[in-house]
Structure 1
């Protein structure tokens, strides 16, 4: 008799879908370059420098012996912080943060090499990529774990947090020694018992 295969857990196929993973990589890469372009354009306008695509894709612009190189390095570090927010919004799973962060930087290596027609040989560029990937991964993992560990609100009402309110029983005495509704009770002075009787609505005065 053939052995029955265990059915996949709910959501497993959707989480491992190649189409979904590819679309997330494309969106993250576009957001990575879009945020970097905005920061670079803003920095260039403030510094009075000429805006060029070399600032975004040419690894030769990142140099440790010029002010422009250090400024671009700071811009890419800020871009890695913003990319951690993009990972939180699009991925939201701490176990996948490292994979997506390394994928972003690997694609950036390929794009930079194709644009510059050479592999990066600048030590400052490689050090910046390591720093950027480390920041993106650490902050992304922390943010995703914070989101995963947030308490779930089940719509509880009231101050007790259980979502239910407990009403006193009909015959339970209140704080002044009287009972609610029809039943027996004891007088406020403790002398004797009494019985509450419902009033007749059609009694003639």
Structure 2
């Protein structure tokens, strides 16, 4: 049995249940580049609409984002002998520069954006998907912060930091994706290998 077998069967049962409850939600036509209906013959890296892949990538990105943000925030707080807390991850009112602890919270979010860019590079694979993934990730973060605090985030500094984090994550992620795309393709065993 392949490694994707249990995940595929779990996804198939979820799709089957949702398909019965919401018939128009989960029915889509999965096209391959070899299919005449795809209209994509001969195009390099043609993208295919694959909702299970996109959803699994987003869930993975969200998990990586909160894991790394929690670890970076905990390490930063332990360095200054402060107790790590979810307060530093989800509370929008700690985003100001009046105290050293709050400045370090800002730094931990910015550092986490760089780690998020590496995750984008490893999961999204394509530079054109980096903006979509980063904005979706921060949209979910916005909703989690709203739920955690119980009120709409009104701190201007929180909004600026989130915007800066999105920009940093997207630009760095796209740079890493472009660097990977520009690598030479090895032609082992051919006459071009001089």
TM-score (normalizing by structure 1): 0.71
Equivalent positions of 1:4-83 (< 5 A) are 6-8=36-38, 9=40, 15-83=48-116
Aligned CA RMSD, in angstroms, stands at 2.0
Provide the C-alpha distance between the structure 2 equivalents of 1:130 and 1:51, rounded to a whole number of angstroms: 24
Task: Give deviations 1:78-131, integer Å, cap 9, x for gaps.
Answer: 000010000111111011111001111111000000000011111111110111
Give the aligned partner of residue 117 of structure 2. Answer: 84
Per-residue CA deviations over 1:142-200 (Å, capped at 9, x if unaligned) read: 1111111211001147xxx6247xxxxxxxxxxxxxxxxxxxxxxxxxxxxxxxxxxxx
Q: Distance in 1 between matches of 2:99 and 2:158?
A: 13
- Which of 132, 135, 139 is 1:106 aligned to? 139
Q: Secondary structure at the match of 1:7?
A: helix
Q: Give the alignment's TM-score, normalised by structure 2.
A: 0.75
In the aligned structure 2, how far is the partner of 1:115 from the partner of 1:163? Answer: 58
| Structure 1 runs of 4+ with >6 Å offset | none
Structure with larger RCO (C-alpha < 8 A, sep 6+) = 2
Structure 1 unmatched runs, 5+:
165-205
Bigger share in helix: 2
How far the C-alpha of 1:6 sits from its partner, in A, is: 4.2
Structure of larger gyration radius:
1
Residue 192 (structure 2) pairs with residue 162 (structure 1):
yes
